[in-house]
Amino acid sequence: MSGYIRFFRLMTAVVMGAFFAAAAAWADDPLVYATIQPAQIALGESAQFTITNLGDGTNPITLPVVSGLKFEIIGRTREMQIINGTMLPSSSIVMRVTPQIAGIFTIPAVTPKAQPLVLQVTAAPGGTSLAQAAPRAPLPPPILSGGSIPKGVHLTEDGSAYVRLSIPKREVYVGESVPVDIEVGMRSGFVSSLNGLPKLTDDNFALNNLSHQPERAEKLINGEQFVVFTWRSILAVVKPGTFALSAEAPLTVKIRTRPRRESALDDRFGDPFWQNLFGATVPKDINVTSPPQELKVLELPAEGRPADFHGAIGTFSIASDVSPAKADVGDPLTLRMRITGSGNFDRVDSAMLDRVDQWKTYPPKSSFNTSDPIGFSGMKTFEQPVIASKPGAQELPGLSFSYFDPNARRYETARSAPLSVSISPSLADSVAPPQAAGGAGPENGYAPGLRPDHADTTTRSSSLMPPYLQPRFLGIPSIIVLAFAAGWAGARRRRPLRESEPADRPSSRAAKRVLAQMQAAARAGNAAVFFDLARAALQPWLAARWQIEPDEVTTAEVEARVGTQNDIHQLFALADESKYSGRELRATDFAQWLRVVRQVLTNESST
């Protein structure tokens, strides 16, 4: 620490001495002047551009604009200066000048009387330069010169960082998962920040399961202290071919604004404090890339590819089991297949059992338990629900799983042994439990409150379905309904003979009136009126039956239709006879013919 203080005092004295020595020479200079330090830098570094205004600060100051240079104000100072014994107030604007390209730049004067400044920017390795012809400035010496650097470590030019990609093999297959390590080393104090996750520079590859939290370690590389972050990941290969693969990481490093030879002391101390103190470094975002590695990607062979191959590449083994080993019909069992090993588990798949006699199978589901952070090795478990459809000793066939072994360079099929299961009849479908049917089961808490069993004296039914919902029973009421419907229809068919033309049939009231008149005529002994009433009453009725006009119902017509032996014909004949002969009848004759007419009119006769 005392060395630092002595150095600080020494530098302060040197600066103040320089100011006093220059005061005499600058007394007649313009009141505004600019300086740039250093005048020669490398691309990626920055220089400090200072505009100093001596006096009251009324002189206008124009900020320079130069194509290819970026000016950023980083500070303003105000102080008193003694020049030639005169105290002058001064103010300064300190700017950072960062070149965008290499070349020789002329910074215009800040005042008309001032002189322009020149900044020479040398090209970085592999970069482009606007002034190729210009003599290239010698590069600052590397920090880590001499000594050994670990294999695969390629430091950046300023020795501040490196990226290393570790691939365990040089030949892989399309679809194969390859575990890789990406190591990013950052020299302590020279790297401000890591701005993102490392990635591959080739789009034909993908990093899967890249951890967001890398492993952190500190290492001494070539005598310098480095903070090393290591990501583990799985390299997935997309297409065949030969590729140069490298990884890159975005970093922010501290760029020196002074030539390296001037900051060698800072490097020697290994502490950026001194650089920051004098504004000697600026941050810069860069991508650090690992040295390319050649990787040959092969196609999977088409020969010998199993039908159930789903793209699994690696080294695997399988085992299977079923639980429970004893179950009832309808109980779901779980068939498990465990695939253990290492490889691309995302392509490890199995349809398990598809269709098996006497088993109902369901689609399986899978779960993966990894034994490493990147999911390269572990155990994938497939669980498939299966349900036995019949009781008895059943057997589940063995399972198989096909994969490609990249070490053996051939397809392999792993198989498991068949599994035996004992299936009992379902409890829900059983009518009587064998042991408990007689009530001999073990007693428990339910027993005390139960009412006793019944003697089986009731009738038995073939089904618990109510008979009125059984097709066999429904036939009986159907027959009944049909039989009665047929009878009712038959009876209805007979009714039209009596009721089809109710207007033509004498109503009961009219019949009663006619009968009453006939009775009156009988009592008076007037046969002509009696038979005339009887014929007049029967004519409409007969006309309706014979479908003729009532006037057409004559004695001849009646004789033609019903014959001479019929009561109605005799009645018509007697009516004619009594009308023209004045025949007398006895009381019994009146009663007889009155009965005949009544029977006809009240429909009790079967004529």
Partner 1 sequence: MTARAAWLALCLLIGAVQVHAAADPGGYSAADLYNLGNSYARMGKPGMAILNYERARLLSANDPDIEANLQYVRNSAHLTAEKRGTFDRIARIASPFLLSWLGALGLGVIGASLIGAQFSPRHRLLRASAVLLGLSMLGLTICNGLAIWPVLHEGVVIAAAAPVRVSPVPMGDPLFTLPEGETVKIAAEHESFALIETRAGRTGWVAHSNLAPILPRK
* Chain residues that interact with partner 1, rule: CB under 8 A: 328-332, 360, 362-363, 365, 383, 385, 387, 426-429, 431-433, 436-447, 449-469, 473, 476-477, 480-481, 483-485, 487-488, 491-492, 494-495
Is the distance from CB of 241 to CB of 297 less than 8 angstroms?
yes
Give the nearer residue to partner 1 in terms of CB position, either 89 or 475. 475
Q: What is the DSSP string of 225-281?
A: EEEEEEEEEEEEE-S-EEEEE-EEEEEEEEEESS-TTTSHHHHHHT-THHHHHTT-E
The distance of closest approach from Cβ of residue 600 to partner 1 in the complex, given in angstroms and rounded to an integer, is 18
The distance of closest approach from Cβ of residue 415 to partner 1 in the complex, given in angstroms and rounded to an integer, is 25
Number of Cβ within 10 Å of residue 100's Cβ equals 11
Give the nearer residue to partner 1 in terms of CB position, either 246 or 358. 358
Q: Which helix (H) or strand (E) holds 85?
A: none
Give the nearer residue to partner 1 in terms of CB position, either 444 or 547. 444
Residue 419's φ and ψ, nearest 5 degrees, are -120, 140
Give the nearer residue to partner 1 in terms of CB position, either 468 or 580. 468
Q: What is the DSSP string of 498-555?
A: HHS-TTTSPPHHHHHHHHHHHHHHHHHT-HHHHHHHHHHHHHHHHHHHHTS-GGG--H
Helix (H, G, I), strand (E, B) or coil at 230: strand
Helix (H, G, I), strand (E, B) or coil at 371: coil
The distance of closest approach from Cβ of residue 602 to partner 1 in the complex, given in angstroms and rounded to an integer, is 12
Give the nearer residue to partner 1 in terms of CB position, either 132 or 463. 463
The distance of closest approach from Cβ of residue 380 to partner 1 in the complex, given in angstroms and rounded to an integer, is 17
Of 205, 167, 164, residue with least CA distance to 290: 164
Of 128, 122, 64, residue with least CA distance to 97: 64
Give the nearer residue to partner 1 in terms of CB position, either 136 or 365. 365
The distance of closest approach from Cβ of residue 330 to partner 1 in the complex, given in angstroms and rounded to an integer, is 3
Helix (H, G, I), strand (E, B) or coil at 471: helix
* Residue 334 bridge partners (DSSP): 323, 385
The distance of closest approach from Cβ of residue 334 to partner 1 in the complex, given in angstroms and rounded to an integer, is 8
CA distances, 498 to each of 545, 547, 561 (Å): 9, 14, 19
Give the CA radius of gyration of the chain: 61
